[in-house]
Amino acid sequence: MESYDLIIIGAGPSGYAAAMRAMDFNKKTLIIERKRIGGAGVTNGALSSKTWWELSRVTRAMNAGFELYQINPPEIRFNELRQRVNEAIGSRRDLLSEHMDLLKDSGKELSFKEGDARIISKNEVRIDLDGQSETVRGDYIILATGSRPRKLPNIPVDEKIIFTSDGIESMEQFPASMVILGAGVIGCEYATIFSGFGKTKVHLIDKGDRILPAEDQDIVDVIEYNMEHNGVLIHRNSRLTRMSIVEGEVEYELEYTDGKKEIFHVEKALISVGRVPNYEDLWDDPVDIELNPRGITDNDTQTSVENIYAVGDITADIALVNVGELEGRHAVEKIFGKPERRLVYENISFIMFLHPEVAGVGLNETQARQKGINYRVAVLDYKVIPRAIAERNTQGIIKLLVTDDDEQKILGMRVVGNHASSAIQAVALLISMDKGIEELAECVHPHPSITEGIQECVRMLLGKSLLKPAVYPGLHCRKYCDGAYEDLVAKTA
């Protein structure tokens, strides 16, 4: 029986990151993967969908340019776009495989086995492939098997007419119409992608009165405006009562909160109602790893079995590629080293690939109020940022939240608009350092840049505003204390 210091089940972003960190400790490591290196983060997730988004963004901008110069735009061919996406996926997967081969050639004790893994004791893993089995032993085991799209029992998903994100890549042409069930981040991203190509009439089912329920209303307002301007039909306050395939197309019925019912017909449907962790048939009963309703229960990546760890989407933490990688590396550091601190998630930054993009870190106003936190917030409109003016695209806002005290420690930030993601990382670092905005005030930003807007938000909160929100439109500074707002403009003018 082959023996290893560490066995990692799953070669997606979190498992791969764990393996690379184990190389730093010179540990004999085995990665087991039943499908493809890179996992859903490459094939059916972040990389593929964001490549589609980039192609959609370029198409939308190109069409706007042709319209400006009164030129008919060229025909957009679905197969050519899909080939670009497949090339991106293949390139990333080949890079990962080549990287592993180079590590093995350099003398690192890294092995890869393909097959279905099952933990049969706390130190033994059986690998099944094509009717053959072998058992390997590991001092430690990391579970990194990811997640899959959630399916609903009353919807006949066939990945040909009614899709999940796993099957969307098999689509052969732009549908004339499509309904998307789920108005969270993933559903809204796909609504942005397909409407951006200008080939598909998109319907978006939203059980509430607005999309992206976890985000602040002013952020949502920008995204909803652009979606509807791009032809997306948002079914607000609606509940799906039926979806079926009728004569090769999709028929669905909605019931609204006012009791009204309506039937719609579209060519395709995408179900985007969350993801579920992949832990079925992963261990024998005697192993007894503790579960909760959202996945494997873990204590700073360690499961209820002391030598078995869980990272990435299989746990109940934030389902993001960067979080999975962070957890994978942290688990290895806990096993073979001494981390300086526990994992923290307050400084995790993210991007929503919408139109325009949304980036954030830490708390937004909605979350701060839900937690009962008093805060101060500065809001700056893109209309006053020279870079946005130069690009002739001033749609967007920057929001910076700080504690309602003299320290004004950063609670979070949201940016919606062009280059939103470029404005986040410095703030994320200060949150992790538990610093106030005085540190940020000393940062001199390049001109012209979107990040200059962050500096003006800081100045507003410190009472040193360059533009003076009392007289300058597009700037707001307020505090939220014990359930009520107070305007801070007079103090910062």
CA distances from 93 to 3, 37, 96, 169 (A): 27, 6, 5, 16
Give the whole-angstrom CA distance, residue 213 versus residue 279. 28
Q: How far is CA 48 from the centre of its chain?
A: 13
Cβ within 8 Å of residue 392, ≥6 positions away: none
Domain range for 250 is 162-273
Which pLDDT value is given to residue 311? 96
Please give the structure tokens belonging to residue 67.
């319209």
18-58 pLDDT per residue, tens: 999 999 999 999 999 988 788 777 777 788 899 999 999 99
In this structure, are 110 and 37 located in the same domain? yes
Whichever domain contains 407, its CATH number is 3.30.390.30
Q: Which range (109-113, 201-205, 241-245) has the least confidence?
A: 109-113
Number of domains in the chain: 3
Candidates 216, 207, 183, 206; CA nearest to 398 is 216
Pair (110, 36) in one structural domain: yes
pLDDT of residue 491: 46
List the CATH number of the domain containing 209: 3.50.50.60
For position 260, what pLDDT does the model report? 95
Rounded distance between C-alpha atoms, residue 203 and residue 218, angstroms: 22
Average pLDDT over residues 430-452: 83
- Say yes or no to pLDDT of 7 above 50: yes
Contact 17, 39 (CB under 8 A): no
The answer to whether residues 114 and 137 belong to one domain is: yes
What's the whole-number mean pLDDT along residues 387-391? 91
pLDDT for the residue numbered 293: 82
> Does 188 share its domain with 322?
no
Domain limit, last residue, from 292, 312, 336: 336
The pLDDT value given to residue 493 = 40
Integer Cα distance of 399 and 461 in angstroms: 11
- Name 282's Cβ contacts closer than 8 Å, sequence gap at least 6: 9, 117, 118, 119, 143, 145
Same domain, 7 and 143: yes
Instruction: Quote the mean pLDDT of the chain.
Output: 90
Q: Do 488 and 384 belong to one domain?
A: yes
- Report the pLDDT value the prediction gives residue 426, as an integer from 0 to 100: 80
Judgement on whether residues 138 and 192 belong to the same structural domain of the protein: no
